[in-house]
Structure 1
Amino acid sequence: MKYLKLVNFLGLLVRFFRYNIKVIFANKFIYFLIAAFLFFAFIITISLLEDPNLDESVIYGFLVFPGVLLIFYPVVYGLQNDDDSKMLEVIFGIPNYRYKVWLVRFIIIVIVAAVNLTILAFLANFALYHIEIPVMVAQVLFPITFLAALSFMMSTLIKSGNGTAIAMVMLGVIFLIFYEVLEYNAWNIFLNPYIEPREMSETIWLNVIFKNRLYLAIGTGLALLYGLFNLQFRERFMK
């Protein structure tokens, strides 16, 4: 009896994830998945042909972009897709909708990204360089999840998918412009924890990494909470 209940629960959970993934990615999930894998395959091919000195820091950089690609569309265009499909009115009719719907969606987006990053990390481990896959994926998820939360917050302020996309691209360009200046700084969103600065002691560098991950975790929480807070103002979103 307990076994049947467990099977039924797992079946419901699988259907729940399938349905939400279809909604989140607007039935375009396969395209983003293919794009992420093709991009990663292209990078691996180029790396093998050029035979560079690969290490964990290079693999980390390879994984960040596919991760951003996987979370960008569902977070940036999520509210607009709900509005276009007239689902926004239904969502606003659910008590505590901002927690029951969008928080669950956000978690699913991160889980989907983590699963696919794990697969990509396994391929990199097999084809390029030996890495600790769980640790690598966890490290990549820090900036990815922060950018997802920031994109979600911006979408609740701008209330337009295209507008949010433009804003996030501009922010991304700004982050990249200041990357070299902040390369070894705790405030660098794209800080690569696998780089070993020669002019910095290991203890100081580990402290920088810890602060960076702490800042990203706090920033993720604050951006997500502020985005959920914005969703309680129904009149801002209903036309």
Structure 2
Amino acid sequence: MTSTNNLINYGTLVLKLFQYNIKVIFANKFIYFLVAAVLFFVMLVTIALFDDPVMNEALIFGFLMFPGILLMFYPIAYGIQNDDDSKMLEIIFGIPNYRYKVWLLRFVMIILVVLFNLYLLCLLANFTILQFDIFPMLYRLLFPITFLASLGFMLSTLVKSGNGTAIVMVIVGLIFLIFIEPLEYSAWNIFLNPYGEPRDMNQTIWMQVVLKNRLYLTIGSIVTLLYAMFNLQSREKFVS
């Protein structure tokens, strides 16, 4: 009986911790980004339907990519500033190594929330546009979104301002977009579409390109996340 009560108490504590961090991360403004992401997705699909293209998984991947980026944009850019505004920054820095656990947990929560909302968009697309395997699609979307989230989190530890981080993220995103066409089928393309296999490329070579792309994005995510954690060692830069 005691072990059951302990388990219930632990579960309640985890739930409260999750709810609290969700409130801090999204600061009641996430709903605007969620609505914008859904509207953006619907707009892309509507434009594509009027152009009358042959619907396939490559197009669906592209439709889902940018709403996913939009969903992670606010919590990543404004995470540290929200802590500052809620007077939690000094408390987090006041407990040794606590900040790593808090912000790593929040980073994982952001990715999970984004994936959940992308799952709902996948269901919508599956019923209205084209039937496809949802979980493989989410798995492939996870790589670029996690990398961009890690990069954005690193930038937030350097800029230390929500608005400043947002501006820098937009500039970096535009730079990546400029190189989409010249790097369209390159492993270095952040937005590489794994479903968009070129006709003139051997399938085995294409699979190697996709595999290298995932490897580069994974390494980039780890490096930028570790660098962000390293930046968080300097308490004086954040708390004055």
- TM-score scaled to structure 2, two decimals? 0.93
Partner residue of 1:30? Answer: 31
Partner residue of 1:213? Answer: 214
Deviation at 1:9, TM superposition (A): 4.2
Residues 164-173 or 101-110, more deviating? 164-173
Gaps of 5+ in 1: none
Determine the C-alpha separation between the residues in 2 that align with 1:166 and 1:129: 35
Partner residue of 2:101? Answer: 100
Residue pairs, 1:28-67, within 5 angstroms: 28-67=29-68
Determine the C-alpha separation between the residues in 2 that align with 1:7 and 1:127: 41
Deviation at 1:50, TM superposition (A): 4.2
Deviation at 1:17, TM superposition (A): 2.1
Determine the C-alpha separation between the residues in 1 that align with 2:68 and 2:202: 30
Q: 1:44 to 1:9 in 2, by over 3 A?
A: farther
Residue pairs, 1:121-160, within 5 angstroms: 121-160=122-161
Q: Between the two proteins, what is the percent identity of the paired residues?
A: 63
SS of aligned partner of 1:22: helix
Q: 1:198 to 1:84 in 2, by over 3 A?
A: same
8 Å Cα contact 1:142/1:217 also seen in 2: yes
Q: Name the amino acid aligned to 2:55.
A: L
Q: Name the amino acid aligned to 1:200.
A: M
8 Å Cα contact 1:98/1:232 also seen in 2: no
Deviation at 1:111, TM superposition (A): 0.5
Deviation at 1:14, TM superposition (A): 3.1
Deviation at 1:32, TM superposition (A): 2.0
Deviation at 1:98, TM superposition (A): 2.7
Q: 1:126 to 1:195 in 2, by over 3 A?
A: same
Determine the C-alpha separation between the residues in 2 that align with 1:175 and 1:81: 27
Q: 1:88 to 1:175 in 2, by over 3 A?
A: same
8 Å Cα contact 1:158/1:164 also seen in 2: yes
RMSD: 1.7
Deviation at 1:10, TM superposition (A): 4.0
Residues 178-187 or 88-97, more deviating? 88-97
Q: Name the amino acid aligned to 1:129.
A: L
8 Å Cα contact 1:57/1:193 also seen in 2: yes
Determine the C-alpha separation between the residues in 2 that align with 1:4 and 1:120: 38
Deviation at 1:227, TM superposition (A): 0.1
8 Å Cα contact 2:187/2:213 also seen in 1: yes
Deviation at 1:65, TM superposition (A): 1.0
Gaps of 5+ in 2: none
Partner residue of 2:231? Answer: 230
SS of aligned partner of 1:163: helix
Q: Name the amino acid aligned to 2:129.
A: L
Q: How many equivalent residue pairs?
A: 239
Deviation at 1:101, TM superposition (A): 0.7
Deviation at 1:218, TM superposition (A): 0.7
Q: Name the amino acid aligned to 2:81.
A: Q
Q: Name the amino acid aligned to 2:162.
A: G
8 Å Cα contact 1:22/1:29 also seen in 2: no
Deviation at 1:7, TM superposition (A): 4.9
Q: 1:88 to 1:180 in 2, by over 3 A?
A: same
8 Å Cα contact 2:185/2:192 also seen in 1: yes
For residues 157-201 of structure 1, the C-alpha deviation after alignment (integer angstroms, 9 at most, x for no partner) is 111112211111111111111111100000000000000111210
Partner residue of 1:202? Answer: 203
Deviation at 1:47, TM superposition (A): 3.6
SS of aligned partner of 1:176: helix
8 Å Cα contact 2:71/2:114 also seen in 1: yes
SS of aligned partner of 1:180: coil
Determine the C-alpha separation between the residues in 2 that align with 1:226 and 1:101: 16
Determine the C-alpha separation between the residues in 1 that align with 2:9 and 2:129: 41
Deviation at 1:133, TM superposition (A): 0.4
8 Å Cα contact 1:21/1:29 also seen in 2: no
Q: Name the amino acid aligned to 1:118.
A: Y
Deviation at 1:134, TM superposition (A): 0.4
